[in-house]
Amino acid sequence: MTEHLTVVNHPLVQHKLTIMRDKETSTAGFRRLLKEISLLLAYEVTRELDMTTTRIETPMQPMDAPTLDGKKLALISILRAGNGLLDGILELIPAARVGFVGLYRDPETLKPVQYYCKVPDHLDERICIVVDPMLATGNSSVAAIDLLKQSGAKNLRFLCLLAAPEGVARMKEAHPDVPIVTASLDSHLNDHGYIVPGLGDAGDRMFGTK
């Protein structure tokens, strides 16, 4: 991908996102929409995957038909909210390998603290799609990508539902080689590190916790 930031302006994505932002939307509705929207965002983030051809025979004649090249993709979920994006993406890319990075945000410093990391092997040979619904300060995303690069990952993309300008700038500074795909670039972060207008706490909204 050539652009550092891609905002997916597709009408279906924007419509679903509006319902997700609405505070009256139920947990079940939020979760269903997140799954649907993640499928559409996954379509965009995989747009430029390398292709090769394979020899097949249609009922009419032999042909060299296009197929994905290289090792299976790696999806890396930043716990816990990243998991809400996994189901939809896996429906589109069922053979993908899946890894998890556990980071929580210290509420005082807003800095990420790592508590879990389990990722697929041969990351150096895979395209890694890192998923987290909210690119807020960018601290967790940068830390997760630091970790993945230490594990060998070279070809990474970042998929989120909403991005704040502060998070995009932080990612561009730390990881200019990692393209970001999102449904919206929102206005700013508030004093607590929440995206405005945003949708609140994505983890709480998808899991019904408060």
Contact 103, 113 (CB under 8 A): yes
In degrees and rounded to multiples of 5, residue 175 shows phi and psi of -135, 70
203 contacts ligand URA (rule: CB under 6 A): yes
Active site residue 201: yes
**C-beta of 110: minimal distance to ligand URA in Å?**
9
Minimum CB–partner distance for residue 132 and ligand URA (Å): 9
Among 53, 136, 157, 160, binds ligand URA (CB under 6 A): 136
Q: Catalytic residue at 146?
A: no
Query: Are the C-beta atoms of residues 176 and 170 closer than 8 Å to each other?
Result: no
Does 202 interact with ligand URA (rule: CB under 6 A)? yes
Where are any strands of DSSP class E within 4-163? 5-7, 51-57, 62-68, 74-79, 97-105, 112-118, 127-131, 134-135, 155-159, 162-163
> Does 168 interact with ligand URA (rule: CB under 6 A)?
no
For residue 157, the minimal CB distance to ligand URA (Å) is 20
* Of 125 and 201, CB closest to ligand URA: 201
Considering the candidates 54, 109, 121, 205, report the single residue annotated as catalytic: 109
Nearer to ligand URA, 120 or 198 (CB): 198
Q: Does 167 bind ligand URA (CB under 6 A)?
A: no
> What does R_g of the chain's alpha carbons equal in angstroms?
18
Query: Applying CB under 6 A, does 166 fall inside the site for ligand URA?
Result: no
157 is catalytic: no
The 78-107 site mask, x for binding ligand URA (CB under 6 A), equals: ---x--------------------------
Who's near 30: CB < 8 A, 6+ residues apart?
20, 205, 206
**Applying CB under 6 A, which of residues 134, 148, 156, 160 lies at the interface with ligand URA?**
134
**Token digits of residue 152:** 């060998």
How far the first Cα of the chain sits from its last, in Å, is: 37
23: tokens are 């505070």
**Which positions are annotated as active-site residues?**
105, 109, 201, 204
